[in-house]
Homo-oligomer: A and B are copies of this chain.
Amino acid sequence: MSDQLPQGFQAAGIYSGVKRNPQKLDLSLLVSAAPCTAAGVFTKNLVFAAPVKLCRERTPSQSVRAVVVNSGNANACTGTQGDRDAEAMAAKVASAVGCHPRDVLVLSTGVIGELMPMQKILPGIDLAAARLDASPDALLAAARGMMTTDTRPKIAYRSITIDGRAITLCGVAKGAAMIGPNLATMLAVVMTDARLDVDDAHDGLKDAADESFNCISVEGHTSTNDSVLLLANGAAGRPALKNEALAKFQATLVEVCEDLAQSIPADGEGATHMITVEVHGCRTRDDAVQIAKTIADSPLVKTAITGNDPNWGRIVSAAGYAGVPFDASKVCLHLNGSLLYERGQPVPFDGDAVSNSMAADRNVGIVLLLDEGDASARFWTSDLTAEYVRLNADYRT
């Protein structure tokens, strides 16, 4: 079965003219017939875009009706005019779909430092509103309208039964890429027909983002526009999910967020490998995340994997400078299931066999074991290729 919008949601993706290529889509609408409980998590960058400011002010909420997403212009570093433009986008959506302007959220991605071309955006919103539809094709168009240099749309879908009620979660995302003056903005919207109390939506999204979107990087550069939204319209029926029902929903929300998050480095610019870094045996989850992220962000680790080299030294020494204390004489390392390093020293292994396993599979798994405690983390990233550099250096020519 193809990916479906949850009950009560409609979507659209259209071409408004912001991107140069009219074969692409650049404006998406996601609309719920009923008011949604809505939560958001946003970039921690001190330099953040106007739509991030708008969404921060409007979430958490119990009355969100719509999200508008545009690609091609990020409305970042645009001063007070940028704030006015983001508000005008929300107001235009509100009049097109019939709701209060403050019940509309705005996401933008693309060039920074240029004012939004409102003369294209505002008619685009009207066009998108006229095309709103609950079909899988409309969902796909909305996912495509968010893309910048992503090579494919990113959709995650789960249908589950909780207390006899069929509940659907569907998320769309963009990531991957930062050609030109753009940044590696990550945007995601997860829609569900579950009914959630606003505090549960907020806490649940924050926890799910910590295990997913906060555990990926392409090159460690946090954008001005990163945003993840959760919209729950309750169309699957009352009452709001609590206790075991809420826990079951939460587990599925984490799955949807992980699916979307992993699809971002998997589509990383010029990437030839998708790298999963697992770190076990830490005192705290924060320690484990810090070590996993340091390994994942090391250009030496990334390039070794590009070259299909099981280079334990780069991995172990990256862990060593992560800023987390551990007993280096207890460290063990597996790569693609082969033990390379045990209790602080390299062990003999078949280098060619491990290298061949890396060359044969786009997915590479690194597992680092410490002996400090019981906490673990997983982190996903892509490798670093000459093609990445070409895309990010030569975009002017």
Partner-B contacts on A (CB < 8 A): 43-48, 76-79, 112-113, 178, 181, 183-184, 219-224, 297-300, 303-304, 306-309, 311-314, 316-321, 325-326, 328, 331, 341, 344-346, 355, 384-386, 388-390, 392-397
A and B contact pairs by CB, cutoff 8 A, 21 listed = A45-B317, A45-B320, A46-B325, A77-B341, A77-B344, A79-B344, A113-B313, A113-B346, A178-B300, A178-B314, A220-B298, A220-B299, A222-B317, A222-B321, A224-B317, A299-B299, A307-B393, A384-B389, A386-B393, A388-B389, A389-B389
**Other contacts beyond A45-B317, A303-B392: 4, CB < 8 A:** A47-B328, A77-B316, A183-B313, A220-B299
User: For chain A, what secondary structure do more than half of its interface residues adopt (helix, strand, loop), or is it mixed?
Assistant: loop
**Residues of chain B with a CB closer than 8 A to A183's CB:** 300, 313-314, 317
Report whether A307 and B47 are in contact in the complex, using a CB–CB cutoff of 8 Å.
no
Report whether A312 and B219 are in contact in the complex, using a CB–CB cutoff of 8 Å.
no
A220 to B303, CA, bound (A): 14
Report whether A384 and B317 are in contact in the complex, using a CB–CB cutoff of 8 Å.
no
Nearest opposing residue in chain B for A182, CB measure? B313
A258 to B346, CA, bound (A): 36
Report whether A355 and B396 are in contact in the complex, using a CB–CB cutoff of 8 Å.
yes
Report whether A328 and B389 are in contact in the complex, using a CB–CB cutoff of 8 Å.
no
Report whether B221 and A321 are in contact in the complex, using a CB–CB cutoff of 8 Å.
yes
A267 to B325, CA, bound (A): 32
Of B318, B326, B393, the residue contacting A221 (CB under 8 A) is B318
**Residues of chain B with a CB closer than 8 A to A312's CB:** 113
Given known contacts A183-B317, A219-B299, A396-B307, A345 and B46 CB-to-CB distance under 8 angstroms: no
